[in-house]
Amino acid sequence: MEKRIIDAQGVYYRELNQQVREAAAAGTKSFEIVNVNGQRYIASALEGDIHFILRGVPGQDLAAFMRGPSIRVEGNAQDGVGNTMDEGHIAVNGMAGDVIGYAMRGGTIYVKEDVGYRVGIHMKAYKEKFPVIVAGGKAGDFLGEYMAGGAIILLGMFTGKPDAPIAGRTLGAGMHGGAIYIRGGVDERLLGPGLHAEPADQADMNLIKMHAQAFANEFALDAASILSQPFVRVKPFSHRPYGNMYVPT
């Protein structure tokens, strides 16, 4: 089936999402939505092998609860991208706002430039589900707060704030699963209580290399320059700290 092109200029979000859902239910596998500007919930809760190109700035909660589709955003994204998404791929060819990948449980989010506050908080992993966020720029405070699984890879390379530290305060606070990888290192005073930055090991580098290559392919960048600096790892110092609270061993 051929690509469905939708002009979203001045179209209210409910109407736009209804068009998308009806077309998807009728079997459309490829969408190009042009003049997107602020419409909320695009591709939210959609399932299956569907591809989107969004031209413009999609609104809040892009791809929330999404399971499967892939989305390429030609523009910046706002807040709440990939909220609780389950599977699929989002690539933002620009910057993104706050709470990206909140409680994400699978799939990948690549943002070429800076991301906002509270990115990847509450991420979790289980068996084959392993969510990954790669941000090419810098991040705000609370990156990976309460993280329980998956990986966040922060590059700090493509940024609109050259003078800022690569991440904000309270990085990884309360995390008890998963790992945050930071290119070139991070000031330990920015980390949440009890956390440390240590060199990434071989298994970490395998994961980082795989995503660096895919990230470079996605945005036409040079993977070698991404990998030209060492990465540090921030991982939790405890595992399931409350695991025995209700069922004592």
The contact set with other proteins (CB under 8 A) reads 13, 37-38, 40, 56-57, 59-60, 76, 78-79, 95, 97-98, 114, 116-118, 140-142, 160-161, 164, 168-169, 189
Question: Considering beta carbons, is residue 89 or 118 the nearer one to other proteins?
Answer: 118
Question: Considering beta carbons, is residue 10 or 248 the nearer one to other proteins?
Answer: 10
Q: At closest approach, how far in Å is the CB of 222 from other proteins?
A: 25
Question: Considering beta carbons, is residue 117 or 231 the nearer one to other proteins?
Answer: 117
Q: At closest approach, how far in Å is the CB of 38 from other proteins?
A: 3
**Cα separation of 43 and 18, whole Å?**
10
| 107 and 131 Cβ atoms separated by less than 8 Å | yes
Judged by DSSP in three states, 1 sits in coil
| 109 and 80 Cβ atoms separated by less than 8 Å | no
Question: Considering beta carbons, is residue 118 or 122 the nearer one to other proteins?
Answer: 118
> What's the N-to-C CA distance of the chain in angstroms?
56
Q: At closest approach, how far in Å is the CB of 37 from other proteins?
A: 5
Question: Considering beta carbons, is residue 37 or 229 the nearer one to other proteins?
Answer: 37
CB proximity list for 238: less than 8 A, separation 6 or greater: 176
Tokens in use for 44? 């939210």
- Other CB atoms within 10 A of residue 43 CB: 29
